[in-house]
């Protein structure tokens, strides 16, 4: 029997993690082969590889330990890819040459599949004088635009687009422009943005005091701290960015406070890292460790948890030695500190199985207990590794034990570290697990609540057709298997209905025992008041979180995956006056010859952000008294458009000349979605410039009477579907084009095809 708990799990494995040869033929015949491949690769650095291969396979078996996607897809394949998930690049110099050296390093890192983070606070503000040049500085945001353009051209390993995080200090003179950069929906789409918030700033916010914006020793401007805080809140409320990182808290708690300063994080925020810092990720699947689920004796097996954590730490420590690195500085940094990020997934499912409501005080207490058990087991395992293999090279016992994190640890653990040292400087992190949670049978992701009990997923079949299948949360499916049709208990909650402050409570409970940070998205309802929304961030600060990321559906970023727990949306009915399908349409087996003259119309299309307009001409022919499109031309002074506009002109004209019902051309063009984002045109959100061209053609077909009206006579009209849903549809998946993107822990995962930007 298959090990997969759901069809989607097998599909994700085949698409993302199954090893295949250059021709696409499977090398891993089964998922057991994938586990064996990973176990063998990570055991190869051991003195007794056969023994540890067996032990590592045991950890991987049945999806109990889930190495992150880089390891699962790359370990043992021999491919030139990194097994590390995330990097923070070197400090950006405040010079033109240094800036573009950093750009080159970023490109090389993303080319091997690494997401990257940068602190742009080191670049002088816009308008500052540049010594030796009769010009003023253009500021950090202008260089972020260059990074953004570079990222769009780099396809990461595993068919991933590069992901980036940009941070800026709350006292940088350009912070106000940074906060509001994403008001433009076409700008910086490859970046997540976060403000580095200091303790002094938060004190000034609470006191409603003044706040200096400065670079070097020069104060450029003084603002009220609370006003600046409210600008951050307003932008996040309206546009879902920037996030907030409590940077002083991160540095105070950091075990390596004595030898590094952190100013940036990886793209999803769970890994605060120093310059050239790198971290690998993996998750213990808590949902697989619950015994007697949905009974009075349900509990998470503590012995099984400790055994699994110890094996996971050893596997991840070995990965430091087994991995390639895009840059030598990253390899040196990783091996000097041997930082790993062991986390969890399936927390919400495990809580449900033990009868606890996610977000409740009891669930927070249980989460805190489980996370302490994981941290304790991980640190003790790393102490044992230090006795066997040596400490990380930069270990200094008393300085290490003086950190905020180590001050909270049990006395016996601190004594063991003082006596024997420790192999890994930092050990725990809560990462996004969007794709690997699907691979493990659709367990709840990371420490997030269950996103939805069920949803529909379109599956592309070999004959090109699409079928729909139900995807069920792991715990919900287990309830069905055990209880049949019995209704779900009241303690079942999901992300659609959970109060935002319950999210904060759970994040804070987990953060108590996570030495790095946590990737978590606090989903807020669209109608939450601005005051209640701001309270979420203040609660995160007050409760000890290291950062905060929220998501409120809005017209610019759209909504998360639309979920219907009951009925499907009704079909869009054609108007009563619509002609019969195919009525009065002339079908041609051969293209018509072009007459000497044709009548037509030229339309001007101005796409936001483009210097030159497109001019679209559609010429018509009259057959049997009916006017129909015959050819089209697209002209622009923008030479970047030349090749694709010529190709589009020729292809669409060829279709028009074949006759028949050519309205499908409108359908296809209007369904094209640009992963970089669309634009607002005359009060409507258009998902791509090609969709805008489709709209122009549709306008012409309506004008000549070829179709009845906008969206009429089409088998599937995207604009009609938007109206039917009654809510913003949001961005489309860059892999399959569907609308089934959901935002979890700061990253987007497609529920239709499994594509994930960073999971």
Q: Which residue has the higher pLDDT, 63 or 613?
A: 63
CB count within 10 Å of CB 388 equals 11
Sign of CA dihedral 207, 210, 213, 216: negative
**106 shares its domain with 233:** yes
Check if the beta carbon of residue 563 is closer than 8 Å to that of residue 455: yes
pLDDT band at 470 (very low <50, low <70, confident <90, very high): confident
**108 shares its domain with 243:** yes
The pTM of the whole model exceeds 0.85: no
- Taking only the tens place, the pLDDT of each residue in 433-449 is 888 999 999 999 999 99
Identify the pLDDT of residue 743. 65
Dihedral angle of Cα 482, 486, 489, 495, to the nearest 10 degrees? 80
Q: Identify which of 522, 526, 527, 525 has the alpha carbon closest to the alpha carbon of residue 505.
A: 522
**124 shares its domain with 241:** yes
**Which of 488, 518, 551 is at the close of a domain?**
551
Helix (H, G, I), strand (E, B) or coil at 470: strand
Say yes or no to pLDDT of 587 above 50: no
List, as one string, the DSSP characters of 67-118: E-HHHHHHTTS--S-BS--EEE-PPPPSSHHHHHHHHHHHHHHHHTT-EEEE
Identify the pLDDT of residue 729. 46
Beta strands in 35-127 (DSSP E): 65-67, 86-88, 115-119
Retrieve residue 571's tokens: 């079909």
* Residue given tokens 């009259």 in the structure block: 622
Our measurement of the distance from residue 160's CA atom to the centroid of its chain's CA atoms, rounded to an integer in Å, reads 11
Distance (Å, rounded) from C-alpha 343 to C-alpha 406? 18
Inter-CA distances, 506 with 364, 372, 543, Å:
5, 14, 10
Greatest alpha-carbon span in the chain: 95
- Taking only the tens place, the pLDDT of each residue in 366-402 is 999 999 999 999 999 999 999 999 999 999 999 999 9
Distance (Å, rounded) from C-alpha 557 to C-alpha 351? 31
Inter-CA distances, 518 with 275, 437, 506, 507, 721, Å:
20, 16, 11, 7, 36
Distance (Å, rounded) from C-alpha 57 to C-alpha 34? 10
What whole-number percentage of the chain has pLDDT above 90?
57
* H/E stretch holding 315: helix 302-322
Identify the pLDDT of residue 110. 81
Sign of CA dihedral 255, 261, 266, 269: positive
Retrieve residue 441's tokens: 């049978």
**238 shares its domain with 111:** yes
Check if the beta carbon of residue 251 is closer than 8 Å to that of residue 311: no
Give the residue-averaged pLDDT of 303-310. 98
Contacts of 310 (CB under 8 A, 6+ apart): 377, 378, 380, 381, 384
Distance (Å, rounded) from C-alpha 403 to C-alpha 417? 13
Give the 3-state DSSP-derived string for 601-624, with helices as H, strands as E and coil as C. Answer: EEEEECCCCCCCCEEEEEEEEEEC
Q: Identify which of 139, 214, 215, 143 has the alpha carbon closest to the alpha carbon of residue 177.
A: 139
Helix (H, G, I), strand (E, B) or coil at 78: coil
**632 shares its domain with 719:** yes
CATH of residue 154's domain is 3.20.70.20
- Taking only the tens place, the pLDDT of each residue in 695-739 is 999 989 888 888 877 765 454 444 433 322 233 345 556 555 555
Beta strands in 103-249 (DSSP E): 115-119, 155-156, 160-161, 164-169, 191-197, 210-215, 218-224, 243-246
DSSP assigned state of 91: P
Identify the pLDDT of residue 396. 98
**111 shares its domain with 201:** yes
**609 shares its domain with 721:** yes
Q: Which of 71-85, 121-135, 702-716 has the highest mean pLDDT?
A: 71-85
**603 shares its domain with 546:** no
The alpha carbons of the chain give a radius of gyration, in whole angstroms, of 28
Say yes or no to pLDDT of 156 above 60: no
Give bridge partners of residue 215 from the DSSP assignment: 218
Identify the pLDDT of residue 286. 98
**536 shares its domain with 673:** no
Distance (Å, rounded) from C-alpha 636 to C-alpha 640? 9
Identify the pLDDT of residue 386. 98
Q: Which residue has the higher pLDDT, 723 or 282?
A: 282
* Residue given tokens 């495990």 in the structure block: 350
Residues annotated as catalytic are: 266, 268, 270
Check if the beta carbon of residue 413 is closer than 8 Å to that of residue 446: no
Identify the pLDDT of residue 240. 87
pLDDT band at 408 (very low <50, low <70, confident <90, very high): very high
CB count within 10 Å of CB 402 equals 13
Give the residue-averaged pLDDT of 574-595. 43
Say yes or no to pLDDT of 324 above 50: yes
Q: Identify which of 492, 514, 381 has the alpha carbon closest to the alpha carbon of residue 447.
A: 514
Identify the pLDDT of residue 733. 61
DSSP assigned state of 125: P
20-24, 144-148, 654-658, 731-735 — which is least confidently predicted?
A: 731-735
Sign of CA dihedral 129, 133, 135, 139: negative
Q: Identify which of 396, 419, 403, 319 has the alpha carbon closest to the alpha carbon of residue 85.
A: 319
Say yes or no to pLDDT of 364 above 90: yes
Residue 679: inside a domain: yes
Q: Which residue has the higher pLDDT, 361 or 469?
A: 361
Residue 616: inside a domain: yes
Retrieve residue 361's tokens: 């005080």
Rounded to 5 degrees, what are φ and ψ at 591?
Answer: -65, 145
Check if the beta carbon of residue 728 is closer than 8 Å to that of residue 643: no
Give the residue-averaged pLDDT of 192-218. 97
Contacts of 580 (CB under 8 A, 6+ apart): none
Distance (Å, rounded) from C-alpha 109 to C-alpha 548? 27
Retrieve residue 465's tokens: 């057709």
pLDDT band at 572 (very low <50, low <70, confident <90, very high): very low
Is residue 481 exposed (0-12), middle (13-18) or buried (19+ Cβ within 10 Å)? exposed
Q: Identify which of 476, 423, 164, 442 has the alpha carbon closest to the alpha carbon of residue 285.
A: 442
Residue 369: inside a domain: no
Identify the pLDDT of residue 132. 67
604-608, 659-663, 737-741 — which is least confidently predicted?
A: 737-741
Identify the pLDDT of residue 1. 52
Average pLDDT, rounded, for the chain: 86
Residue 584: inside a domain: no
Distance (Å, rounded) from C-alpha 310 to C-alpha 282? 13
- Taking only the tens place, the pLDDT of each residue in 412-436 is 999 999 999 999 999 999 998 888 9
Rounded to 5 degrees, what are φ and ψ at 352?
Answer: -60, -45
Distance (Å, rounded) from C-alpha 389 to C-alpha 749? 39
**543 shares its domain with 661:** no
Identify the pLDDT of residue 188. 87
* H/E stretch holding 341: strand 340-345
Distance (Å, rounded) from C-alpha 192 to C-alpha 284? 27
What whole-number percentage of the chain has pLDDT above 70?
84
pLDDT band at 6 (very low <50, low <70, confident <90, very high): confident
Q: How many domains does one find in the chain?
A: 2
CA-based end-to-end distance of the chain = 28
Identify the pLDDT of residue 720. 31
Distance (Å, rounded) from C-alpha 415 to C-alpha 404? 16
* Residue given tokens 């063009």 in the structure block: 669
Range of the domain at 132: 99-249+262-270+527-551
Identify the pLDDT of residue 727. 36
Distance (Å, rounded) from C-alpha 532 to C-alpha 739? 29
**541 shares its domain with 659:** no
**545 shares its domain with 651:** no
Residue 395: inside a domain: no
**Which of 535, 551, 567 is at the close of a domain?**
551
Is residue 268 exposed (0-12), middle (13-18) or buried (19+ Cβ within 10 Å)? buried
Identify the pLDDT of residue 490. 94
Give bridge partners of residue 518 from the DSSP assignment: 430
CB count within 10 Å of CB 655 equals 17
Identify the pLDDT of residue 560. 45
Residue 375: inside a domain: no
Our measurement of the distance from residue 240's CA atom to the centroid of its chain's CA atoms, rounded to an integer in Å, reads 13
Identify the pLDDT of residue 570. 28
Residue 337: inside a domain: no
Identify the pLDDT of residue 719. 42
Say yes or no to pLDDT of 203 above 60: yes
* H/E stretch holding 468: strand 466-472
Say yes or no to pLDDT of 358 above 80: yes
Residue 474: inside a domain: no
């Amino acid at each position: 029997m298959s090990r997969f708990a759901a069809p989607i799990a097998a599909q994700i494995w085949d698409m993302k993690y199954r090893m295949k040869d250059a021709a696409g033929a499977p090398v891993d015949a089964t998922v057991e082969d994938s586990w064996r491949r990973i176990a063998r690769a990570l055991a190869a650095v051991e003195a007794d590889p056969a023994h540890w291969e067996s032990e590592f396979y045991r950890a991987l078996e049945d999806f109990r330990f889930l190495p992150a996607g880089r390891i699962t897809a790359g370990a043992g394949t021999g491919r030139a890819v990194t097994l590390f998930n995330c990097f923070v690049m070197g400090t950006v110099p405040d010079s033109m040459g240094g800036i573009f050296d950093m750009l080159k390093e970023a490109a090389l890192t993303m080319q091997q599949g690494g997401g990257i983070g940068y602190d742009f606070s080191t670049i002088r503000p816009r308008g500052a004088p540049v010594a030796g040049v009769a010009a003023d500085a253009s500021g950090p945001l202008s260089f972020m635009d260059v990074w953004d353009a570079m990222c769009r051209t780099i396809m990461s390993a595993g068919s991933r687009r590069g992901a980036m995080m940009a941070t800026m200090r709350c006292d940088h003179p350009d912070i106000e422009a940074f906060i509001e950069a994403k008001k433009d929906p076409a700008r910086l789409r490859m970046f997540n943005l976060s403000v580095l918030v200091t303790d002094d700033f938060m004190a000034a916010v609470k006191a409603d005091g003044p706040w200096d914006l400065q670079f070097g020793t020069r104060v450029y401007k003084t603002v009220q701290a609370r006003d600046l805080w409210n600008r951050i809140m307003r932008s996040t409320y309206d546009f879902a960015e920037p996030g907030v990182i409590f940077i002083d808290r991160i540095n105070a708690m950091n075990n390596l406070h004595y030898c590094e300063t952190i100013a940036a994080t990886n793209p999803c925020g769970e890994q605060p890292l120093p310059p050239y810092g790198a971290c690998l990720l993996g998750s213990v699947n808590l949902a697989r460790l619950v015994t007697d689920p949905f009974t009075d004796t349900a509990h998470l097996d503590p012995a099984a948890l400790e055994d699994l954590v110890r094996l996971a730490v050893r596997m991840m420590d070995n990965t430091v030695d087994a991995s390639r690195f895009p840059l030598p500085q990253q390899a040196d940094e990783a091996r000097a500190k041997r930082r790993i990020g062991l986390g969890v997934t399936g927390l919400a499912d495990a809580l449900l199985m033990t009868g606890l409501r996610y977000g409740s005080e009891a669930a927070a207490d249980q989460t805190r207990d489980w996370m302490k058990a994981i941290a304790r087991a991980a640190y003790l395992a790393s102490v044992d590794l230090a006795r066997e293999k040596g400490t990380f090279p930069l270990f200094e016992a008393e300085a290490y034990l003086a950190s905020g994190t180590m001050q909270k640890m049990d006395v016996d653990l601190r004594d063991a570290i003082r006596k024997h040292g420790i192999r890994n400087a930092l050990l725990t992190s809560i990462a996004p697990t969007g794709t690997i949670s699907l691979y493990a049978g659709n367990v709840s992701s990371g420490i997030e609540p269950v996103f939805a009990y069920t949803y529909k997923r379109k599956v592309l079949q070999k004959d090109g057709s699409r079928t729909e299948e139900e995807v069920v949360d792991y715990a919900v499916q287990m309830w069905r298997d055990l209880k049949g049709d019995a209704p779900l208990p009241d303690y079942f909650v999901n992300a659609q209905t959970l109060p935002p402050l319950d999210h904060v409570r759970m994040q804070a409970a987990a953060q108590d025992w996570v030495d790095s940070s946590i990737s978590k998205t606090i989903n807020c309802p669209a109608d939450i008041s601005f005051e209640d929304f701001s309270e979420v961030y203040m609660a995160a600060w007050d409760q000890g979180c290291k950062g905060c990321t929220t998501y409120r559906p809005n017209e610019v970023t759209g909504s998360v995956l639309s979920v219907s727990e009951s009925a499907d949306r009704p079909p869009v009915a054609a108007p009563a006056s619509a002609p019969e399908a195919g009525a009065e349409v002339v079908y041609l087996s051969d293209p018509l010859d072009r007459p000497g003259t044709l009548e037509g119309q030229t339309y001007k299309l101005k796409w936001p952000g483009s210097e030159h307009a497109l001019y679209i001409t559609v010429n018509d022919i009259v057959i049997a008294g009916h006017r129909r499109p015959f050819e089209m031309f697209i002209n622009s002074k923008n030479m970047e458009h030349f090749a694709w506009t010529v190709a589009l002109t020729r292809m669409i004209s060829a279709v028009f000349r074949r006759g028949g019902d050519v309205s499908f051309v409108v359908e296809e063009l209007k369904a094209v979605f640009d992963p970089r984002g669309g634009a607002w045109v005359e009060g409507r959100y258009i998902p791509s410039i090609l969709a805008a061209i489709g709209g122009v053609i549709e306008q012409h077909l309506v004008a000549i009477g070829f179709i009845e009206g906008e969206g009429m006579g089409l088998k599937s009209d995207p604009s009609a579907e938007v109206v039917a849903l009654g809510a913003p549809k949001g961005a489309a998946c860059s892999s399959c084009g569907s609308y089934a993107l959901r935002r979890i822990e700061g990253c987007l995962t497609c529920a239709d095809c499994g594509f994930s930007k960073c999971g």
